Structure 1
Amino acid sequence: MEKNKYHTLLIMPSSPGKKIIRLSLPSFYWKMICVAAGLILLWAGVGTWSLFYHVKITKRCCLLEKEKQTAKSQLEEERQRLTYLDGQIKKIRKQAVFIQKFLGMEPHVPGKGKIGQGGEEVSPKVSSLPPDLQSSVHPTPLNLACKEISGFPSPKEIDSVSLNLNQIIETLQIKQKKLEYIPSVSPVDPQKSWISSPFGIRISPFTGKKQLHLGIDIAAWKGTPIMAPAKGKVVSVKKRGLMGLTVTIRHDSIYTTLYGHLLKSNVKKGQVIKRGDVIGYIGNSGRSTGYHLHYSVKKNGKHVNPFPYMVDWDNNHALFVSSAK
């Protein structure tokens, strides 16, 4: 049996005079020492790398956690915003329906009911289609796709509200043009005047007998401005006997208004006027007991009570007229 070979390790001191250290071991031990040192270095490297990776992962986790909290906060804000918008859209929808009913319009409602299906049906047993060929239409997923998100209006509902509002705007624009030609305000400022004689049967201040009064007498101070109650065209400016100086305005093919007992006129025949334009001033011309305006309204050629066309008069004036009848 051969003897083990020895290897000697000499450690030379850096300072002279010191003893040299000799370490003599069998080659087998040196191999074990080298393997152990390699394993230690490997363990140290792996540990260092693991520590570095752990620190990196920890930082990444912290960053992701912050991003998660930020996203959660933004999601909550978005949810609150959508809830607010949902409430506003529902409110607008109710207002739109109310206005449409008021205007006599039919509200637009999104289509409801089942999705259209039809056609001739054949029993699967007598069908010529292969048994493994299935229909490409699946009702269940389609129905699920048509379901609305709970608590928030669907795009169809939002489009419906938008369409209703557009229809309302178009209708109001049309009605606005028509309303411009309909007498709707008092020709004299209600705060500076009062109704001295209503429309209809009254006791004549001149004869003391019952008489049909075809207008309303609005008393005011001499020279008080008289304003056009609607858009129109002056068709007459002249004296009419007992009615004194008068102005007649044709507003459209339906309405005509007359203003009597004027002090003086502020318009000419053929002049186009708009609501609020001064057409004359309160006077006492013709047969009159005092300064006032005789105001009459004709609808389709017939005299009607002007008071419903004076919407700017308050209840006190209405009560006064009622008591005067």
Structure 2
Amino acid sequence: MKKRIKIWFHSGATSDIREFSIHKVLLGFIILIGVFAIGGTSFVGYDYLRLKNVLFNNNSLNQTIHKQKNEIKNQRTQIQSFAGEIEILKKQVDNLSKFEDKVRLIADIKQTSNSSGLIGIGGIPTNELDPDIPLEKKQTALIREMHQQINQTTFVAKKQALDFESLIKQLEEKRNLLACTPSIRPVKGWITSKFGYRSSPFTGQKEFHPGIDISNKSGTKIFATANGKISYAGRKMYFGNFVVIDHGHGRVTRYGHLKKLLVKRGQKVKRGDVIALMGNTGKSTGPHVHYEVRINGTPVNPLNFILN
């Protein structure tokens, strides 16, 4: 006899309690179907949630990848821009070196050390600066080349700075030398006696004239022909009122037969300063100035030191 299961339930419409029976196998099948339905529903729900999570992660990953690509692109642009700036810097350093060479040429100052130019430093390959280079291509070689060129350019720039310091010092020395070198006429007028051997206007005998004589009317202004310091201002035998200017560097100028002295011993003067008035004092045949230029004590032709 097949087993059946009795089930009682209360009817909502009446107060009667009803009873029906169901086969045990059928009940088991119904329960099994329910279990499978619940399991299937749970699996579908879990799979849905898992897929949804994967999709979210994929979207997040795509955003990260897109962000990283933009960062790589920006970094590559910055690297290429930096490489271009290195090239500009190299040109500027090279131009400074050429400018230094030009200044030395004009000032007649020789280079005491080896050239500080960018000789031997190659340029950055132009194909490495192409903005359309695929992001997948590494630019390790470009970065390595940039580091090398930065180091070389830094070294050259430091040496260039030292060279400019040396050049400025030499220019300063040369400027001081030029400022202390006689270069203008000491007075307006006419040259009546030149440098060298001549017949003495007093004895008629041959004698050495260590300067030049420039004539003009009495009282004409006499100028210092270079920067210097008055080493003598007073009367001197044969030269009458006499002025001597020590210009340094072994350079000295002498002015004789002056009417009036306008400077004192120890006074500093600059080229073009009025130091005296033309006269006829001492052993003289008329108003003029006797002008001498001496280098390390030796008289030289003053006409070689008159540029105006």
For 2:40, the equivalent position in structure 1 comes to 36
Query: Quick one: distance in 2 between partners of 1:197 and 1:149?
Result: 70
Structure 1 SS opposite 2:245: strand
* Residue of 57, 61, 67 corresponding to 2:65: 61
Query: Quick one: distance in 1 between partners of 2:95 and 2:84?
Result: 17
Count of residues in correspondence between the two structures:
248
What does residue range 7-46 of structure 1 map to in structure 2 within 5 Å?
A: 26-46=30-50
Letter in 1 for 2:160: V
For 2:227, the equivalent position in structure 1 comes to 230
Deviation at 1:37, TM superposition (A): 1.4
For 2:112, the equivalent position in structure 1 comes to 106
Query: Quick one: distance in 1 between partners of 2:259 and 2:183?
Result: 21
Query: Quick one: distance in 2 between partners of 1:275 and 1:86?
Result: 43
Deviation at 1:86, TM superposition (A): 1.2
Shift of the 37–253 alpha-carbon distance from structure 1 to 2, 3 Å rule, reads closer
For 1:273, the equivalent position in structure 2 comes to 268
Name the TM-score, length of structure 1 as normaliser. 0.57
Query: Quick one: distance in 2 between partners of 1:91 and 1:214?
Result: 49
For 2:83, the equivalent position in structure 1 comes to 79
Letter in 1 for 2:57: Y
Deviation at 1:263, TM superposition (A): 4.9
Letter in 1 for 2:250: I
Listed as ranges, the gaps of 5+ residues in structure 2 are 6-26, 117-143
1:249 equivalent in alignment to 2:245:
yes
Structure 2 SS opposite 1:236: strand
Query: Quick one: distance in 2 between partners of 1:219 and 1:3?
Result: 161
Query: Quick one: distance in 1 between partners of 2:85 and 2:92?
Result: 11
For 2:184, the equivalent position in structure 1 comes to 186
Query: Quick one: distance in 2 between partners of 1:96 and 1:74?
Result: 33
Q: Does structure 2 retain, via aligned residues, the 8 Å contact 1:4–1:27?
A: no
For 2:195, the equivalent position in structure 1 comes to 200
Shift of the 67–305 alpha-carbon distance from structure 1 to 2, 3 Å rule, reads farther
Q: Does structure 2 retain, via aligned residues, the 8 Å contact 1:198–1:216?
A: yes
Deviation at 1:34, TM superposition (A): 1.6
Shift of the 304–43 alpha-carbon distance from structure 1 to 2, 3 Å rule, reads same
Q: For 1:257-287, what per-residue CA distance to the aligned partner results, in whole angstroms no more than 9, with x for missing partners? A: 0124545322113x23143372424535355
Listed as ranges, the gaps of 5+ residues in structure 1 are 6-23, 111-144, 318-325
Query: Quick one: distance in 2 between partners of 1:72 and 1:46?
Result: 38
Q: Does structure 2 retain, via aligned residues, the 8 Å contact 1:265–1:279?
A: no
Deviation at 1:26, TM superposition (A): 1.5
For 1:296, the equivalent position in structure 2 comes to 292
Q: Does structure 1 retain, via aligned residues, the 8 Å contact 2:224–2:269?
A: no
What does residue range 152-191 of structure 1 map to in structure 2 within 5 Å?
A: 153=152, 156-172=155-171, 179=177, 182-186=180-184
Larger CA Rg, structure 1 vs 2: 2
Q: Does structure 2 retain, via aligned residues, the 8 Å contact 1:181–1:232?
A: no
1:50 equivalent in alignment to 2:54:
yes
Deviation at 1:95, TM superposition (A): 4.8
